[in-house]
Amino acid sequence: MQNVTIVKEPQSSINLALVYALFAAAAVGSYAGVLFSPDGIDRIVANHYDFWACIGLALVGWIVRSVGGHKGVIVTMTVLASFIILTLHQPMLLRYLTFAALLFSMGLYGMVQSRNAVRVLLSIELMLNAVNINLIAFSRYVDPVALKGQLFVIFVLTVAAAEAAVGLAVVLAIYRSRQTVDMDKFTLLKW
Amino acid sequence: MGQDLLPSLLSAPNVETWAFYLLTTLSICLAIGVLTDRVVIRSGFILIGVFGTISGIFLLLSAQFLALAQIMIYAVGITLMVVIALMLTNPRLEREQAVVYYDESLPPLAKIFASCKRNLSLWVSVLSFVTLYAALIGENHWPLSDQAVSPDAVKVLGDALVTNYSIPFEFASVLLLAALMGAVMLAKGEPKNQDEDGNSTIVDEAKKQENNLALQR
């Protein structure tokens, strides 16, 4: 076994710790989701053939990718087709909520995966927009008179503007001292 | 006529569904473009399209004021700031492509495991989406209301902002002020007392002069 090469871990330890924390949060969240709606998982497993269609679609996309298809086209088609399959027979509120969940998950992926700090901020903006869609959908379909959801969206917009300003200023300050915006090289607090 | 154009258009059969799928298709494609484009400044510009389609979705949900606020704040303000930050940090120097180490000598199962470990954040986000979706379709007791959004929604919002929600409104203004000053302080950089040749700058020399009229009381 002389030709075994040592696999170097490409992700930094900060990214890995974040991923593990998110994984634990997802596990806790799924447990809480089961508590919140005891038959949610059962519904998916038992009588949602659309869900299995999405998994089959992802498998087809994986096979086409391994044959040599273009990655972006396959990912886009798979996500779009899964979204349409999952939302076509739902009421309108659930369509908006599913769209918001999809945007939130995509923003989560971009936030963890990106190496450029500015792209991390862009992904956070995507996640905040998903939250805004949730709030406005609820204020449209649940509370259309008092419109409390739209009020909260105004405050979220304010906080998002402040967050973008301060975040980009932090990125500029770090760039001035480290000459980089690579997340893997922000090791100022590493012990 | 102009005020009730949107509700009458939305009440036509299937218009909301078609518009929803048109806007979400555009939005998802553009969001994938934001996440996967190699050139960061291009993904910053694609983000304008994402925010524009999301403001269209706000229009579908009959939140006209927030749709316009979305365009003004996100699509113009925040994206412009992102682009300026990208120009200041010179993204051409950054190689976005991560170096991925493939080990060809591993057995197939270990290869699959290594691939899962490399793409762990992808699986976490997929799992989060599945969890959210399961919670959504498991809950079918939303207290839905049949009423339409009142046409004077802006009046309702303004009334609520200055009566019931005046304290959070004030706090939001304080937060914006603090964030503004903090951003200026962070981005301003160190005060430069000497230039490259070691001579003190014009401002310092002006401060030292005793007969500076601006500093006299």
CB pair distance less than 8 Å for A172 and B187: yes
* Cα A149 from Cα A132, distance rounded (Å): 9
A100-137 pLDDT, tens digit per residue, is 999 999 999 999 888 888 889 999 999 999 999 999 99
pLDDT score for A98:
93
Count other C-beta atoms under 10 Å from residue A141's C-beta: 23
Most A CBs within 10 A among B137, B141, B173, B188, hence the mutation to make, goes to B137
Give the mean pLDDT of A38-50.
Answer: 64
Whether the per-residue pLDDT at A46 is higher than 70: the answer is no
How would you class A8 by CB atoms within 10 Å of its CB: exposed for 0-12, middle for 13-18, buried for 19 or more? exposed
Q: Does A190 touch chain B (CB under 8 A)?
A: no
> What is the model's pTM?
0.76
ipTM confidence: 0.79
How would you class A7 by CB atoms within 10 Å of its CB: exposed for 0-12, middle for 13-18, buried for 19 or more? middle
Q: Does B167 touch chain A (CB under 8 A)?
A: no
SS3 for A116? strand
Written in H, E and C, the secondary structure of A1-28 is CCCCCCCCCCCCHHHHHHHHHHHHHHHH
pLDDT score for B100:
60
Residue B78 has its nearest CB partner, among A86, A153, A164, at A164
* Cα B83 from Cα B89, distance rounded (Å): 10
Query: Could you tell me which of B180, B159, B24, B55 has the C-alpha nearest to residue A95?
Result: B24
CB pair distance less than 8 Å for A113 and B182: no
Positions of chain B with pLDDT lower than 70, given as ranges? 1-13, 90-109, 111-112, 189-217
Residue A136 has its nearest CB partner, among B32, B63, B118, at B63
Residues pairing with A182 in the sheet: A116
pLDDT score for B193:
55
CB pair distance less than 8 Å for A164 and B180: no
Residue B31 has its nearest CB partner, among A101, A103, A115, at A103
pLDDT score for B184:
87
Do B114 and A7 meet the contact criterion of CB atoms below 8 Å apart?
Answer: yes
pLDDT score for B52:
94
Residues 6+ apart with CB under 8 A from A24: none
Do A108 and A127 meet the contact criterion of CB atoms below 8 Å apart?
Answer: yes
Q: Does A52 touch chain B (CB under 8 A)?
A: no
Do B62 and A140 meet the contact criterion of CB atoms below 8 Å apart?
Answer: yes
